[in-house]
Amino acid sequence: MRPKRLAQAASLAIFSALVVCASESLVCGVAARWFLGMDPAGVVQVASAERDIPAGYVPALCVLALTLLAGRFFCSMVCPLGALVDVTDSVFGAQGRVARPKTAGMRGGKYLVLGILAASAAFGLALAAFLSPLSIMARLVGLVLHPLGMDAAGAFVRAARPLAEDLGMTRIAYAAVTPRDYGLEALSAGVAGIALAGVVLGPRFWCRCLCPAGAVFALFSVRPLLVRRRVNEGCTSCMRCVERCPMLAIGPDPRKTDHAECIACMRCARVCPVSAVGFLPGGGRTQGRGAGFSRSRRFVLLGVLFAAASGAVLARFLNPVGLGGSRVARAGFGVLRPPGSVPGGGFELRCVGCGLCMTVCPTNILRPSGALAGAGAAFSPTVDFSSGPCDTSCTSCTQVCPTGAIRPLSPAEKKTVKVGTARIDTTTCIAWASAKACLVCDEVCPVGAVELRREPHAALAVPVVREDLCIGCGYCEHHCPVRPERAIVVTADGAGLRVEGLGLGGAEKKVDGGIGGQGGDEALPGGKLLPPGFSD
């Protein structure tokens, strides 16, 4: 296999493996974070919106430095979406095209996309989730293909179980494949599909004309210092390289290269009948840029203005203000975010919607927010406790965010930082409304934040949430039997605040021989009232 193809295939395989394995191993999740950290589109969004380049984007800076030396090698050898674009192109025959496609002049589009990304971020709308190639790929693999694979694995295990039981293969017999479910799969797949559908408009259409990361790399690769396409005197001007270049970066003089467009895929070198094209450092003559997109000053100025204007308009109409599902409206505290999330609007402006936090979540409670946080933040994570609670000892999602939208938490911190605060709807709660000793919320609460209290009008002790202890882990909401709406729901109230010296991280709940540790009731010790759960 050719080195370029080998590198590309290896990169796609490693990227997919890291994202898929992130669901089982945090080491893979952290490695996937470094991979996603190579994405310059994310850097542009966070830098433009928050004037910050997070440590997670050090890989991107390294890749940009290498781009100065060796051009857009990332696009041809590293980018997993680029690999998929190549696969699509070869399947649908776009690679073999000889005639210049009509879209040859649209290469400026990617700068416009980049401008819109930067401008909308400055105006308060994060679009990298829809535009960054690595985010698009991470979602395709992590949120669409991985769940499908798990379904297939589950079907296999179920089919194999009777046989495994008969053969005494207990490891297979007790293997439980937990299905993964995220929602918004159609949109995740759709965005990737749009990127790949560019095949109808010519080879590498996405990379050539739309990709904002490609645009950043192009700006850094106007004249690569070390490795770039060089043509020696042997060239016979057969035009084969010009016709076969997927990026349309050569020509019309085959000796001339538009290095900002060249992704160093080296196809020109391969198709050259006289081996006149090389990419090695040194040797050969340096050529000027080719024809095509004219970077005239007027064009650039118009482009910048248009990008800024569309960024402002998009930010005005796609932002979360005014949108929101019933749950948000009911709670009135905003959208639940993963533990350790940057409070306020900073979270939405940092998140690039890669979905890695969702993939690593062992209880599958992190999901795309969809309409909850507005169309622009559709792929930002929210917390849905229907599939499980937020395990108080787990810090996975905080370890894998490349953008710093979720700050890393130590296990000790995790137990004290609020995701939100649970609230009880006393009109539907079984203990409050039906005087039945349900109290599942108290049973499952890992921080002792559900307190049982004797209320004058209630026959039994009823649950009350202690806001100073509750960290919003959602055990109560997950286990609450009330339907369709659970009677105890975690709201984003107090998200990001710290529970000091209490709960899991600190001392035991105070107990004074009373009911559920609540003091001040003189009737309790030795009196008529029995401890919780006991009866006459």
Partner 1 sequence: MDILDLVMKWCAENGRMGGVAWLSRREFMRRQGLLAASLAFSGLAPKVSWAASDRPYLSVVTGAPGPAARMAIELLGGMGSFVKRGQKVVIKPNMSFSGGVRDGVTTHPEVVREIVAMCSECRAGRILVLDHTLRPPERCIGEIRNACRPFGGDIVHGLDSRDFYRQAAIPQGVDLKGAEVMKDVLDADVLIAVPVAKSHSSTGVSLSMKGMMGLVWNRTVMHWRHDLDESIVDLCTLLKPSLVVIDATRVLSTNGPSGPGEVIFADTVIASRDMVAADAYTVAAFPWYGRRLPPEKVRHVRIASARGLGRMDVGNLEVKKVTLR
Contact residues: partner 1, CB under 8 A = 158, 161, 170-171, 174, 176-178, 362-363, 388-389, 391, 393, 430, 436-440, 442-446, 448, 452, 479, 481-482, 504, 508-509, 511, 513-517, 525-526, 530-536
Measured between alpha carbons, how far is 380 from 391 in angstroms, rounded to an integer? 20
Which CB sits closer to partner 1, 297 or 528? 528
- Both structure tokens of 18: 């890291």
Q: Which is nearer to partner 1, 381 or 448 (CB)?
A: 448
Task: State in angstroms the smallest separation of the CB of 32 from partner 1.
Answer: 21
CB closer to partner 1 out of 99 and 507? 507
| Residue 169 or 235 with smaller CB distance to partner 1 | 169
- Could you list the beta-strand ranges (E) of 229-368: 230-231, 277-278, 366-368
Whether the CB-CB separation of 337 and 368 falls below 8 Å is answered with no
Smallest distance, partner 1 to C-beta of residue 157, A: 8
Helices 40-50 and 109-122 sit at what angle, rounded to 10 degrees?
A: 30
Residues 139 and 129: their CA atoms lie apart, in Å, by 9
Taking the least distance from each CB to partner 1, the nearer of 20 and 447 is 447
For the bound state, the minimum distance from the C-beta of residue 412 to partner 1, rounded and expressed in Å, comes to 15
User: Minimum distance between the CB of residue 142 and partner 1, rounded to whole angstroms?
Assistant: 20
Minimum CB distance to partner 1 smaller for 508 or for 522: 508
Q: How far is the CB of 391 from partner 1 (least distance, A)?
A: 6
Compute CA 221 distance to the chain's CA centroid, rounded to the nearest angstrom.
Answer: 28
Helix (H), strand (E), coil (C) string for 108-168 = HHHHHHHHHHHHHHHCCCCCHHHHCHHHHHHHHHHHHHHHHHHHHHHHHHHHHHHHHHHCC
Least Å distance, CB 446 to partner 1, is 6
As a dihedral over the C-alpha atoms of residue 37, residue 39, residue 41, residue 44, rounded to 10 degrees, the angle is 40
Q: Which residues of 426-443 are buried (b: 16+ CB within 10 A; e: fewer)?
A: eebbbbbeeeeebbbbbe
Task: Please report, to the nearest 10 degrees, the dihedral formed by the alpha carbons of residues 80, 85, 88, 92 taken in order.
Answer: -160
Task: Identify which of residues 65 and 459 has a Cβ nearer to partner 1 in the complex.
Answer: 459
For the bound state, the minimum distance from the C-beta of residue 301 to partner 1, rounded and expressed in Å, comes to 57
